[in-house]
Amino acid sequence: MLTIGDRFPEFNLTAVAGGDATKLDVLNAFSSVTNETYKGKWKVVFFYPKDFTFICPTELVGFSDLDSEFKSRNTQVLGASVDNEFVHLAWRQNNKSLNNIAYPMLSDIKKELSLELGIVNDSGVTDRALFIVDTDDVIRFIMVTDMSVGRNPQEVLRILDALQNGGLCPCNWNKGQETIDLKKV
């Protein structure tokens, strides 16, 4: 598995657009997203195992609910799985809670990106993995949880704040709080 300090791999994947999925169809729902699409932005790229499952929609909605907070920090959220773009679209259109996901959902159907990241498990799907990537495409944070445990988007936002702060951030540090000043230690 790639780790902190490694470059996030180059990719070119088909995505389902964010926004109201009930207004999307196969003619306007899809676009190509590459590592260059959000050049100059931080990225939170989170992988979930499969569409039409139980924990995954709670995470998709949780990240969508905070999308404006991520955007205010020059950060693009991207959700991804090894399902194809048509399954992503059908899931979004058929699950009311997913109708208005704010960010693109990437299809890594060939598993090229997932394999390069090292997050494909023995079942052939991705682990529940998340990467925070800086503006230079360097991986700055990784989280991988058991398939039965969803992630906390608010905690991901807190970690992003700490990384963007650039200081020494103590346990439970939140944006606006003081960092550790080595001159005072």
Q: One of 33, 56, 77, 139 is an active-site residue; which one?
A: 56
Distance (Å, whole) CA 125 – CA 5: 25
Distance (Å, whole) CA 181 – CA 86: 51
> Per DSSP, what are the bridge partners of residue 132?
44, 141
Distance (Å, whole) CA 106 – CA 46: 10
Task: Work out the end-to-end distance of the chain between its first and last CA atoms, rounded to an integer number of angstroms.
Answer: 36
Distance (Å, whole) CA 142 – CA 41: 17
52: left (phi over 0), alpha (psi -120 to 50) or beta: left
Distance (Å, whole) CA 132 – CA 105: 16
Distance (Å, whole) CA 39 – CA 24: 26
56 is a catalytic site residue? yes
Residues marked as catalytic: 56
